[in-house]
A and B are shown apart, each in its own frame.
Chain A
Amino acid sequence: MATLHTRSSARLMLTPSVILLLCWMIVPLAMTLYFSFLRYNLLMPGTEEWIGFLNYQFFVEDPAFWASLINTLLLVGGTLLITVVGGTFLAILLDQPFFGQGIVRLLVIAPFFVMPTVSALVWKNMLMHPVNGLFAWVARAFGAQPVDWLAEVPLLSVTIIVSWAWLPFATLIILTALQSLDQDQKEAAEMDGAGIFSIFWHITLPHLARALTVVVLIETIFLLSVFAEIFVTTNGGPGTESTNLTYLIYMQALLFYDAGAASAGGVIAIILANIVAIFLIRMIGKNLEA
C-alpha cells in the first residue's frame, strides 16, 4: 500500500530517529572540528582562542606523528595478513569432518568474546612476560635466551595479540563461505585432473573472494582504532615504537591535556581512514558486486 499518503506518513514517523542519529554523528564531529582550530589546553582554562591551522601544523610536525602513522598501517596490514591467511587455513581444517567438530568450532570462536583489555593482560603477564611467561619458559627449556617480547618487538607483539582476537572472526566468516561451495564443482575439478592445490587455487579461492573482502573491510575499520591492547601492554613504547594514531591522540588529550591538538589529530585520523577506505574499495570492492 505504497500510496503517496502512506509514504509521507512513513517519512514523518522516521524523522525523529533520523534527526537523533544525525545529531549523534554531527554534533561530536562539529565540536571536534571546532576544537581543532582553538588553542585549547585543559591546564590553562580560559585562554581558548582561534589559532587557525596551528594545531594541525603542530600535530603533523611532531616526529611521533609519522612514526605512529607507519605503525598504524603496519599494525592493520600485519593483522590482516595473519588473520586472512590463518583464517583461511583454519577454516579449511574446520571444514573437514572430525570427531568433536562442534566443540572445537565453539572453542575456536572463543577468543573473539574475550575483552581486549583482558586478552592483553593475559598475553602480557602469562605468555610474553620475560620471566614468568610461557614463551620464556619454552625458550629456557631449549636452552635459549628468553625474548622480552614487549620491549624488543613491541609492534609485532601488539600485532600478535590483536591477530589472536580477530583470527576467529575471519575463520568464522570464511568457514561459512567454504560450506556454501558446491561439492559438484570440486568433484568436477577433481575429474578434470586438478589436484588439491589446483582445486584450492582455481575453485575454492575465487569462491571465497567475497567473504575475504568482507573480512578485510570490517577488520580494517576496527583495526585502525586499536587502543586497549597498546594501553595495557606497552603504553605505546618503548619511545613511539608501538604508538598508533589512536594512541597518539589519546596522549595529546589525556596525558598532555591538549584538547586542540588532539582534535586536530582526530580529524587527521578521519581523513586517513577515508583514504584507506577509498583504496580498499578500489582494490577489492568489485568482489562485492553480484
Chain B
Amino acid sequence: MGSITLEAVTKSFGGVKVIPGVDLEINDGEFVVFVGPSGCGKSTLLRLIAGLEDVTSGRILIDGQDATGMPPARRKLSMVFQSYALYPHMSVYKNIAFPLKMAGMDPAKIKEKVEGAAGILNLTDYLDRRPGQLSGGQRQRVAIGRAIVREPSAFLFDEPLSNLDAALRVNMRLEISELQKSLGTTSIYVTHDQIEAMTMADKIVVLNAGRIEQVGSPLDLYHKPANLFVAGFIGSPKMNLVEGEAARSRGATTMGIRPEHLTLSKTEGEWQGRVGVAEHLGSDTFLHVHVQGIEAPLTTRVPGNVEVSHGDTVFLTPDPARTYLFGPDGQAL
C-alpha cells in the first residue's frame, strides 16, 4: 500500500513562494519521476512529502490518511539522499540495520532482514566495511539497502545518481528500475536529467518554478507536450522551436519540430541552410543547420552516417504530421 495525494500544497520560505500550489495523485506501486531544471522546487516537493519540511498550506495524504502534521518517521516512507547520508562511523551492516534497530526489532530478525537486503544488492561481502571504504556505486547500494529493509509504503529518491560517473549511472538506473518493479513499492524519484525520467518513470511530473507543467507517461509527454516548456524539456536532442514566418503560415506563434522529424536533402526542401557543427555518433548524425530567418540553428538527426561537412548547403523539410504548434501563451494548439 502506498498511494500519496497532494492537495493544494504550498510552501514559502520567508516571503518567497517556492511552491505556489500543487495537486497531485500518486497511485500505489507507481514509479513517479519529478523532473525539471534546477531550482524548480522538485526537491522541496519531495522533502514536503517526506516531512522534512512543513507545508505552508494544503494537505498531504498517505494511504488516505492525513499525514500533513506527522513527523517523518511515522509516515512510513524511506528516502535515498543525493549525498547518500550514510552514517560514517557505522559498518555497512549497522547502517542498514539502523532503521530496524530504531523500530525496536528483535536482533535475530534484524540480522535476517539485513542479510536479505544485502543479498539483493550484492553487498554481502562488504557488511563489515565502513562507508568510507566503499566505492560510489556501493555507497549508493547501501543507501538503497537502508531504505528497503524497513519495507516502507514508498521510496523517495532525491537525485540519487548525480554523484556517479556516466557508465555507473546507466547501470544503477537499470538496477533501481528492476528493484522497484520486483518490490512493487511506490517510488518518487527526483532528477533534473530527462533521460532518467524517460527511461525509469511510469509517470513523469514536469515541474517549472514550483508549478506542475504536465503530468503523464513518458511517451505522452514526448508525443503530446502541453506547452512550450515541456516540449523543450523532454526529448534529446532538444526540440527545435521556430518562430516567425514558418510558424505564422501554420497559424501558430511558435512551431516545434523534433530533430528526428526533419528530413535532410541535398537538393530540395522547405528550408535552405548551411551546415554548422556536425556530430557523427556512428549510429546517428546530429547536424546543426543555420537557416536564414531562423535565429537558433536547427538540430536534425539523421540515422546512420551522412557525408556532409561544415559549410555545405542542405535543405530541411519538417514532417507535417509531427509538428507541434503553440499559441501566443505558450500552450499547445
Are B81 and A193 touching (Cβ within 8 A)? Answer: no
Instruction: Judge whether A202 and B73 touch: CB under 8 Å.
Output: no
Q: How distant is the Cα of A207 from the Cα of B85 in the complex, in angstroms?
A: 13
In whole angstroms, how far apart are the Cα atoms of A191 and B81 in the complex?
11
B98 with A189: CB separation less than 8 A = yes
**A192–B102 touching, CB < 8 Å:** yes
Determine the residue in chain B with the shortest Cβ distance to A207. Answer: B89
Whether the Cβ atoms of A191 and B72 lie closer than 8 Å is: yes
Partner of A187, one of B77, B81, B98, B150: B81
Q: Does B103 belong to the interface (CB within 8 Å)? A: yes
Q: Can you list, as one digit per residue, whether each of B130-161 has a CB less than 8 Å from chain A (1) or not (0)?
A: 00000000000000001000100000000000
In this complex, the interface size class of chain A, counting residues with CB under 8 Å from chain B, is: 10 to 19
Q: How far is the CA of A209 from the CA of B88 in the complex (A)?
A: 12
Instruction: Tell whether, in the assembled complex, residue B98 and residue A182 are in contact, meaning their CB atoms are under 8 Å apart.
Output: no
**Closest Cβ–Cβ distance, residue B186 to chain A (whole Å):** 16
List of A residues within 8 angstroms of B150 by Cβ = 192
Q: Are A182 and B83 in contact, CB atoms less than 8 angstroms apart?
A: yes
A48 at the B interface (CB under 8 A) = no
Partner of A198, one of B50, B85, B102: B102
B102:A188 contact, CB within 8 angstroms: no
B71, B82, B98: the one within 8 Å of A192 (CB): B98
Q: List, in ascending order, chain A residues with CB within 8 A of B73's CB.
A: 190-194
Determine if A206 is an interface residue (Cβ-Cβ < 8 Å). yes
Contacts of A182 in B (CB 8 A): 83, 85
Determine which residue in B50, B51, B81 has the highest number of CB atoms from chain A within 10 A of its CB, and name it.
Answer: B81
Kindly identify, within residues 197 to 255 of chain A, every residue whose CB is under 8 Å from any CB belonging to chain B. Answer: 198, 202-203, 206-207, 209
Instruction: Determine if A289 is an interface residue (Cβ-Cβ < 8 Å).
Output: no
Residue of A nearest to B103 (CB): A193
CB distance from B151 to the nearest CB of A (A): 13
- SS class of chain A's interface: helix, strand, loop or mixed? helix
Q: How far is the CA of A185 from the CA of B98 in the complex (A)?
A: 12
- Distance of B130 from chain A, by nearest CB (Å): 11
By beta carbon, the residue of chain B nearest A192 is B99
Q: Once the chains are docked, how many angstroms separate the CA of A185 from the CA of B103?
A: 18
Q: Within 8 Å CB of A193, what residues of B? A: 73, 99, 102-103
Contact between B146 and A184, CB atoms less than 8 A apart: no
B residues less than 8 Å from A187 (CB atoms):
52, 72, 79, 81, 85
Q: Is residue B78 within 8 Å, beta carbon to beta carbon, of the partner chain?
A: yes
| B81–A188 CB distance below 8 A | yes
Kindly state whether residue B87 has any CB partner on chain A within 8 Å: yes
CA distance A193 to B83 in the complex (A): 19
Q: How far is the CB of A253 from chain B (nearest CB, A)?
A: 48
What separation, in Å, do the CA atoms of A202 and B285 have in the docked complex? Answer: 55
Contacts of B89 in A (CB 8 A): 206-207, 209
Cα-based distance from A184 to B90 in the complex (angstroms):
16
Provide the bound-state CA to CA distance between A203 and B72, in Å.
17
The answer to whether A203 and B87 touch (CB under 8 A), given A191-B52, A192-B99, is yes
Q: Chain A contacts of B72 at CB under 8 A?
A: 187, 190-191
Q: Scan residues 42-89 of chain B and give those whose CB is less than 8 A from a CB of chain A.
A: 50-52, 71-73, 77-79, 81-83, 85-89
A-B contact pairs, 18 of them (CB 8 A): A184-B82, A185-B85, A185-B86, A187-B52, A187-B72, A188-B81, A188-B85, A189-B87, A189-B102, A191-B77, A192-B98, A192-B146, A193-B102, A194-B102, A202-B90, A206-B89, A207-B88, A207-B89
- Extra contacts besides A188-B87, A188-B146, A209-B89 (8): CB < 8 Å: A184-B83, A185-B85, A188-B79, A189-B98, A192-B78, A192-B146, A193-B103, A207-B88
Q: Give the interface of A toward B (CB within 8 A).
A: 182, 184-185, 187-194, 198, 202-203, 206-207, 209
Closest 4 CB pairs of A and B: A184-B85, A192-B99, A188-B85, A193-B73
